Amino acid sequence: MVQPLRVLLLEDLDTDAELMVHELKRAGFDLVWDRIDTEEALVEYLDRPYDLILSDNSMPSFDAMRALACLRQRRLDIPFVIVSGSIGEEQAVALLRHGAADYIMKDRIDRLGPAVGQVLEKKRLRDDNQAAHAALQARTEELIRSQERLRALASDLTLTEQRERRKLAGDLHDYLAQLLVAGRMKLRQAVARIVKEPGTPLLAELDQIFDESLRYTRTLIADLAPPSLQEFGLSHAFQWLSEHMRTHGLTVDVQVGSDRINIPDDQAILVFQSVRELLLNIVKHAETNRASVAVSTTPTELHITVTDGGQGFDHAAVAGPEPRSSRFGLFSIDERMRAMGGRFEINSTPGRGTRASMILPYWPAPVAPELCEVAKDDQPSGLTTQPSSEQPMVRVLLVDDHVMVRRGIKSLLDGHENLRVIGEASDGQQAVKLTAELRPDVVLMDVNLPVMDGVTATSRIHQDYPETITVGLSVHDDRQIINAMTKAGAAAFVSKGSVTEELYEAISRALLSKGKLPGAPQTGKLPLSSGV
């Protein structure tokens, strides 16, 4: 079958050009071709769609190396084959390194057809691979977006369920329970008046029915929405849950390091529901009557661990949900934690119990400045916790793809009167756009971001808005990540593991190094205690 081929010949001799055309036709190609021998003509002819370029190595006013440079400048991916009468091995290697696909000696012109066939096949495979990669990338991005939407929907569904539970519990408390109490009071008043009548035993039975109904209503209210969670927070709710689980025959030891776990209400609901599901799973499947719930915090994470010494199970069996299986509950908990920017870890061995851990981003509420006793020598140079009235307001753009993480960092910044968060972004592209619109003094940039990563976003901000200071943030503190952010233009880098201690100081030192605070030098840089 004749294969159509559009060829551009860079050749100064008509006879050599005709010889190349003859060989390609003999190899089965249906040729459409043009011949040129100057750089000016090449620039003009590259606007046409060619499948192949055949070029002599050297022509009177032009050579193959300059032709390759022209292709690179125009970013054209056209197979380029050298057809030369004489070429040294060193020069041939140099041409291949600069983009030539192959080279043929004119005294072996019979190799031209097969060589061109191989070059075109490689180009076809390369194009197919690029197309497949682009399709795969697009599909992957769509799947990631779908997963994020599903995760958000699952989280919203759970929160909606809890809100409905709370509403139903409120209705039961405000109406049904009150009616039961009032009915029982009226009944007892009636009993007191007719104690000697024959119907008294029936009234006593009715009083017992009221009593049991009221007790069941209170239990139902607590199951739907524990008052301790709504009124006193997560720590007290875990203590209530410990007492409640006794009705299921499970003794739960609760160890909470603080009376108050400072997390948003919607997050507290999801955590409480997850712990309750884990304890109910122990009741159903672990074949033990004891469990423990331990709560601990680090400067940036909240850890809730549920442990039992029961029969355990195969860890691989919880990889995904299955119909009619308790594993769906574990899968659901994992999705909830991911939606909040955290993670769910479970370790279990048959016969040796189970340990389930929920880890969430967590920043304790900042201590009021008047309660802190800090020596003057301990204050960061040039910037105090309580700024003077002359200090400017530092405008901050916060960039992180997890809402809970942004809330935590914002709560830290809100503890300083001279810092104000003026915007939030969840990906690098949004960060660049908001920087252009808001012109913040400081951008706190997470490294791992969707759409556009933090390194690329930092580079663009540094290039387009050099007056804006960028401080990098990451869970990881690998030297490669720090170097990449520094090279992109970040003035400082802070590990999220030490953000509570170092973020404010890193911002202040970065501002001082740029001379953006009163009394700061206009030139030179101060060292950053941020791990860079």
User: What pLDDT is attached to residue 365?
Assistant: 53
pLDDT digits (tens, 9 = 90+) for 80-92: 999 998 888 888 8
When comparing pLDDT for 43 and 188, which is higher? 43
User: What pLDDT is attached to residue 107?
Assistant: 87
Distance between CA atoms of 168 and 176, rounded to whole angstroms? 11
Statement: residue 494 has pLDDT above 90 = no
pLDDT digits (tens, 9 = 90+) for 432-479: 999 999 999 999 999 888 899 999 999 999 999 999 999 998 866 667
User: What pLDDT is attached to residue 458?
Assistant: 96
Q: How far is CA 21 from the centre of its chain?
A: 56
Whole-prediction pTM: 0.43
Distance between CA atoms of 91 and 433, rounded to whole angstroms? 47
* Position 384 confidence tier, pLDDT thresholds 50, 70, 90: very low
**Which amino acid appears at position 101 of this protein?**
A
* Percent with pLDDT over 70 in the chain: 76
* Nearest-5° Cα angle at 228, 226 to 234: 100
Least confident of 88-92, 113-117, 145-149: 145-149
Q: Which residue has the tokens 């036709």?
A: 25
Distance between CA atoms of 297 and 303, rounded to whole angstroms? 6
Complete domains list, the chain, with CATH: 3-126 (3.40.50.2300), 234-362 (3.30.565.10), 372-513 (3.40.50.2300)
**Which amino acid appears at position 1 of this protein?**
M
User: What pLDDT is attached to residue 518?
Assistant: 42
| Span 399-422, average pLDDT | 82
Least confident of 111-115, 128-132, 180-184, 398-402: 180-184
User: What pLDDT is attached to residue 19?
Assistant: 92
* Position 386 confidence tier, pLDDT thresholds 50, 70, 90: very low
Distance between CA atoms of 81 and 102, rounded to whole angstroms? 5
Q: What is the DSSP letter of 529?
A: S
Q: What is the mean pLDDT of the chain?
A: 80
Angular region, 28: left φ>0, alpha ψ -120 to 50, beta rest: left
Residues whose CB falls within 8 Å of the CB of residue 487, separated by 6 or more in sequence, listed in order? none
Dig out the tokens for 292 from the structure: 């423990």
When comparing pLDDT for 408 and 71, which is higher? 71
When comparing pLDDT for 122 and 185, which is higher? 122
* Position 198 confidence tier, pLDDT thresholds 50, 70, 90: low
User: What pLDDT is attached to residue 373?
Assistant: 36
User: What pLDDT is attached to residue 115?
Assistant: 92
pLDDT digits (tens, 9 = 90+) for 318-360: 555 544 444 447 878 888 888 788 899 999 988 889 999 999 9
Statement: residue 276 has pLDDT above 60 = yes
DSSP string, 77-128: ---EEEEES---HHHHHHHHHTT--EEEEGGGGGGHHHHHHHHHHHHHHHHH
